[in-house]
Structure formats: structure tokens, C-alpha cells
Amino acid sequence: MTIREGQPAAHSKHVRVAIAQSAPVYLNKQASLAKALDLIQQAAKSGAQLVAFGETWLPGYPAWLDVCPGAALWESASAKDVFARLRANSLVVPGEEVNALLEAARDLKIAIVIGVNERVDAGPGNGTLYNSLLTISEDGQLANHHRKLVPTYTERLVWGNGDGRGLQAARTSAGRVGGLICWEHWMPLARMAMHNSGEHIHVAVWPTVHELHQLASRHYAFEGRCFVLAVGLLMPAEDLPRPLRDEATLQSADTQWVERGGSAIIGPDARYILDPVFDREELLVSELDLTQIDRELMTFDVSGHSARPDLFRFEKRV
């Protein structure tokens, strides 16, 4: 994996962040965890205080929902087999794999944001999978646990609805860090809950950060006056599970990659600090100047003077 670095900021209050744009070992929890731990170590060696991974990085995004039409057929034996593999390789929170990530964060003094497929083994929710985003502080604590509020379109075949308990920013050595998952970035009230939490850095996780997702990520940075790490996944076409792979309807541009990455870092003025990177594994590292947030708040503060609480009331119930 190559390492790309942005230019250092010119002022004080610097923090160093990293995006791990890399493919997991698809539907293999233990091998993916080992790869994640290696990438976390690389990020720490680069001086990063925070490293972010993409949507459901452990153990991979169910892209077969979008490119394998037979996956949606009732009583599809192939889809059931793949779903069973996904369940078996999903994480329990808290659990053994989460503990390994907590230990790595504590030992390396680095905060981690990582997307996971979450399995509930007992109690309410038993049998359901969730699209979850875990934020781990540099002292090895699970600082936030967010479940995607509404699975998007075909994702409803795999994941259940999340809840609002994770709509908050967590305190880390890199500042207050929050995150949303994919199309949650078009949910205005979810965005408002996150803006009210005072994010310095927002982690926006996507399967691929294509043009529309870049637009949403840049809008979020501008609206929230925060830095955005737009994190995309990599998934080689050969990772599509057989026999679903045999019926995949891939575009010519997708014959090598189903998910192409597109990770980028965006400033609170919506300008790119690191331009999008596609079609290769790369550790993107950049130094951010958090005082840029203070400068941009002069013209717009969505949670402050621009919120007009005398006219509007926002209530987060959880």
C-alpha cells in the first residue's frame, strides 16, 4: 500500500488524520481484522491521531445486492448461503474482535473509526444484522456506537433499522469526531443532530465515494463547518461470492472493481485538502488545522446564530 500525504497546515492546533482505503479480506472476519490491525499500525507510524475505515469494512459490503439480480429472489439458495456467511463473519459489539481494536487503539495511542457488520446474538434484535460505525478513542474505549438509521434500498434485505443513540460526536485527541453512514447524509434531521454535537471532524463512510457522494460530503463540510473524511471502500469484482458472481451484471468499468474507493479529505470551506483517490489501495494522511473551523464559523453557524431557535425547535429523542 502506498501512503499519500497532504500539505501541512500553516497555523496552530494541528491534528494528523489518516484514511485506510483498502479492501478487506471479503467475508473473512479474522483475516480482515488482521489486515485492519496492520493498517492501524501503519497509520500510527505515520503520526496519525485518527484513522478511518469505510462502510462495513469488517468483513465487507454486500455489493452483490446491487449487481446480482438473483440475490433478491424469494428463497434464493445462493443468497441465503452468502447471507449466512455474512452473519457468521459479522461482529458482536462488544466482543472479541472489538476488544482487539480497543487494545490496538490503546497501545498505539490512536483513535479509530471503522464500519462493521454487526450481529446480535441474544436478546432484543437477536437474528438481525446492523450496518454500524464504531468510534474508538485513543485510550481504548468504545466512545460511540452508531447503527445506520435506515438501510438504503436493497440494503433492507440484509440490515435492520438502527437507532439514534449514536448520533453524537466523541471526544478524541484529534478533536470531537462524529460520523454518518452513506445516505444518512441526505437525512436533514440526522445531520442537524450531528451538527449540534459540535464535530471538528466528520467521518462520512460510503461503499464508493462517486460524484454524488462527493457532493454530499462537501455539502456536509460546508454546512457543518467541519472537516470531512469521505471514506470509500475497495472491492475487487473477484470478491463477489460464487455462484452469485456468475449472474452479476457489471458495467465495463466495473469488471475489475465493484467498489472503487474515491476517498478524500475536505475542509470546512468545502475545498479538497486531499483529492479523491480511486482504484488503488492507499493510506491517505493529512495534517488538519482546526482553527480553520473558527474562521469559517464567522459566516455561518448552523447550530448557533443561524439556527433561529426562536422560530424552530429541534428535538433529539434518544
pLDDT digits (tens, 9 = 90+) for 244-299: 766 666 665 556 888 999 999 999 999 999 999 999 999 999 999 999 999 999 99
Quick one: cell of 132?
454500524
For range 75-97, the mean pLDDT? 92
Which of 2-6, 7-11, 95-99 has the weakest average pLDDT? 7-11
Angle between helices 29-45 and 96-108 in degrees, nearest 10: 10
At residue 158, what are phi and psi to the nearest 5 degrees?
-115, -45
Report the share of the chain in percent with pLDDT over 90: 74
For residue 251 the three cell numbers come to 458495467
Instruction: Answer whether residue 14 shows pLDDT above 60.
Output: yes
Among residues 29, 35, 55, 97, which one is catalytic? 55
Whether 226 is a known active-site residue: answer: no
pLDDT at 164 over 50: yes
Compute the CA torsion angle 70, 75, 81, 84 (nearest 10 deg): 120
Residue 182 appears among annotated catalytic residues: yes
Q: What is the DSSP string of 200-221?
A: SEEEEE-SS--HHHHHHHHHHH
Instruction: Give which of 146, 152, 260, 156 is closest to 203, Cα–Cα.
Output: 146
Confidence at residue 6, expressed as pLDDT on a 0 to 100 scale? 56
> Tens digits of per-residue pLDDT, 199-237?
999 999 999 999 999 999 999 999 999 999 999 999 998
Confidence of residue 9 (pLDDT cuts 50, 70, 90): very low
Q: Which of 68, 148, 184, 296 is catalytic?
A: 148
Q: Among this protein's residues, is 148 annotated catalytic?
A: yes
Residue of 182, 184, 226, 296 marked catalytic: 182
Residue 10 pLDDT: 40
